[in-house]
Structure 1
Amino acid sequence: MFHKFRPIRRRWLFAVTACSVATFCGVPATSDAVEPVAPAERYTVETTDEGATIHLDGKLLTKYVAHSKSKPILWPLIGPGGAAVTRGYPMQDAIATEKADHPHHRSFWMTHGEVNGVDFWAEGEGKGQIVADGAPEVKGGENATLVAKHNWMAPDGKRVMADKWELTFGENDSQSWIDCVFSLTATDGDVVFGDTKEGSFGIRVAGTIKMDGEGKGSIVNAEGVKGKETWAKSSAWVDYYGPVEGKTQGIAILNHPSSFGYPTRWHVRSYGLFAANPFGVHHFIGGDETEGTLLPAGETLKLVYRVILHNGSTEAADIPAQWKAYSETTVE
């Protein structure tokens, strides 16, 4: 039977703190008063021909690429250590620590392997395409925001559904984060998300962070399960960390309790794939394939995550406390 979607009727409010302007008091009216100068913005953003770029303190943090082969992505993701924490291949040639496999694993993406029978996870002939619907809306300041809309197109050119990404970027001294709300809307009739492991919100970690081969990374989830045993488990969060240019760097994905399918199952692999999949069942727990998850025409479901790019191990970054604070975020 279908897993019937229950609509989420909450609105997320993202506050972007405005830069304050210094005020100058007590300057005599007859003096040559200096005009107040606003402090430099932490985040600067701009739209580009391929999407948008986001800089933090003048340094590249990430790029939104509206159409990378078959879907929108963020690439690269620069960690607090100043180096990329996601794989560069296939957007560039694979380096010595990277494996040139799974070319559809493109840094940071949101797709699914079976949507009304169309494969949006893999790439190539007969696969779906996720196409940008206009330019993204971006804003900088003390935080940065990016809102982008996309249409999920079948190989025959018909739209299957639409999505909206709402990303908010923040940071402190030891980590940065991206709050992600992916809204999936059945714009053109009922939508069925198929029961497959190939999904959904994915990240491919840097080659040195992975566990296999040249990698020296570690994986741990909220229950303390480690390594390959984290695959297929339901959990509120998973952390994947390892060495990057001599520093321990990690990526944690936290699943908010309001998110559809919470706590999500994890399609996380020792070779570097790191994906949250709320739709897959039988590949993960066995048994017969289900009929999937039905999203009725006109309805929207939300997948809600925080991605933390952090220094050090899970313990050093105190990911359990980070998830607790995130889980208590006010939702209206």
Structure 2
Amino acid sequence: MHRLFSLLLLLSFASVSVAQTYEITQEEDGLTVHYDGKLVTRYLKKSGSKPILYPLLGPDGVPMTRRYPIESVGENEKNDHPHHRSVWFTHGKVNGTDFWLEKEGEGGVIVHEKFEKISDGETAQIVSLNRWETPEGKVLCKDRRSITFGQDEGRQYFDYDVTVTPVDEPVTFGDTKEGTFGIRVAGTMKTDAKMGGTIVNDKGVKNKDAWAKQSAWVDYYGPVQGKTVGVTIMNHPSSYGYPTYWHVRTYGLFAANPFGVHDFVGKNVQSGDHTIKPGEEMNLRYRVLLHEGTTEEADVAGAFSRYEKVQK
């Protein structure tokens, strides 16, 4: 009897350890990430003019980002800003080229080159290499983006770390509010929906007043399918421009941007332009936490204190 109990216990632990892991599958248009058999997100190599993550599913599988323009317009969504594609990384002024807006034949394109690494298990990691091309096909710079999936006290997160390097000449990320690491939250979460959506930064500044402020993190929470959930973007202290400025809007745009100083602060300040010379690199590091409840209920401040201790 004792042997049987021990065997059952062992099988129980084995089944739990096998189930609660990440699995990444490769498909023609990108990668699909599952945790414990449930979809977390897909890495799409090309959507519009760039790679993105879509969909992004949070607690109980609820969608945390809007459907449009990847799919048809969802609940409380608008068919505006078609360049706001779920989760993305671009910038509005790179050596004068606009990679933020999607203007065919006019704007820049971020081209997926290859996946350098794909690993799954108790944590998962996707490392991709990409090149930034002007409308004329000139490559200005390249990026290596590492996306690491894990659990913070039972809650899903992913670390989005980007290293940008010039190709043949210096590359300047220009001073504009149109950037840089962005998320467009679900339509019911946005503050303007007046359904409880709330923006909060690390100093307790809320909603429209959080725009253009510097902060180590910002949380955006609200209802999705009857459940209060939130997305937090955290900026690591080792990231360029920490603590970053925030291009976060009550209509659902949620972006970290360390460059847009003139738009955020005013004209009588030093430019936010940042130039990377050949042989140098720029590192930007963010963690996205998907949680239940409000900012306080999720103890976002505590989650950030754990994240800021993470070494690269």
TM-score (ref. length: structure 1): 0.86
Q: 1:124 maps to what in 2?
A: 103
- Mapped partners of 1:313, 1:232: distance in 2: 22
Cα distance change of structure 1 residues 291 and 232 upon mapping to structure 2, 3 Å threshold = closer
The answer on 1:301 being equivalent to 2:279 is: no
Mapping for residues 19-168 of structure 1, pairs under 5 Å:
39-40=17-18, 42-125=21-104, 126-135=106-115, 137-168=117-148
Q: 1:279 maps to what in 2?
A: 259
Residue-by-residue CA offset, 1:171-227 (whole Å, 9 max, x unaligned):
256521001111111122100111000000000000011011365300000011011
Residue-by-residue CA offset, 1:138-190 (whole Å, 9 max, x unaligned):
21111111111100000000101000110110125652100111111112210
Asked whether the 8 Å contact 2:75–2:188 carries over to 1, the reply is: no
Residue-by-residue CA offset, 1:10-66 (whole Å, 9 max, x unaligned):
xxxxxxxxxxxxxxxxx9xxxxxx9xx784251110111111000011111000001
| 1:269 equivalent among 227, 241, 249 | 249
| Structure 1 position 319, deviation (Å) | 0.5
Asked whether the 8 Å contact 1:174–1:310 carries over to 2, the reply is: no
Asked whether the 8 Å contact 2:87–2:183 carries over to 1, the reply is: yes
Asked whether the 8 Å contact 2:239–2:283 carries over to 1, the reply is: yes
- Mapped partners of 1:330, 1:203: distance in 2: 24
Asked whether the 8 Å contact 1:196–1:282 carries over to 2, the reply is: yes
Q: Which amino acid aligns with 2:243?
A: P
Asked whether the 8 Å contact 2:115–2:126 carries over to 1, the reply is: no
SS in 2 for 1:133: strand
| 1:255 equivalent among 231, 235, 245 | 235
| Structure 1 position 280, deviation (Å) | 0.9
Select the structure of larger CA radius of gyration.
1
Asked whether the 8 Å contact 1:81–1:249 carries over to 2, the reply is: no
Asked whether the 8 Å contact 1:180–1:304 carries over to 2, the reply is: yes
Residue-by-residue CA offset, 1:107-151 (whole Å, 9 max, x unaligned):
000000000000000002200000001245321111111111100
| Structure 1 position 298, deviation (Å) | 2.2
SS in 1 for 2:263: helix
Residue-by-residue CA offset, 1:275-329 (whole Å, 9 max, x unaligned):
0001111000011583721111221111011100001110011011111111122
Tell me how large the CA RMSD over aligned residues is: 2.0
| 1:317 equivalent among 285, 298, 307 | 298
Q: 2:156 maps to what in 1?
A: 176
SS in 2 for 1:314: coil
| 1:218 equivalent among 185, 198, 202 | 198
Q: Which runs of 5+ in 1 are unaligned?
A: 1-26, 28-33
Cα distance change of structure 1 residues 300 and 215 upon mapping to structure 2, 3 Å threshold = farther
- Mapped partners of 1:247, 1:238: distance in 2: 20
Which range moved further: 165-174 or 126-135? 165-174
Higher relative contact order (CA 8 A, sep 6+): 1
| 2:224 equivalent among 210, 234, 244 | 244
The total of aligned residue pairs comes to 299
SS in 2 for 1:40: helix
| 2:185 equivalent among 205, 209, 218 | 205
Identity of paired residues, percent? 50
Q: Which amino acid aligns with 2:264?
A: F
Q: Which amino acid aligns with 1:280?
A: G
Larger helix proportion of the pair? 2
SS in 1 for 2:77: coil
The answer on 1:191 being equivalent to 2:171 is: yes
| Structure 1 position 95, deviation (Å) | 1.9
- Mapped partners of 1:136, 1:95: distance in 2: 34
- Mapped partners of 2:127, 2:282: distance in 1: 17
Q: Which amino acid aligns with 1:204?
A: R
- Mapped partners of 1:286, 1:172: distance in 2: 38
- Mapped partners of 2:153, 2:304: distance in 1: 18
Cα distance change of structure 1 residues 136 and 247 upon mapping to structure 2, 3 Å threshold = farther
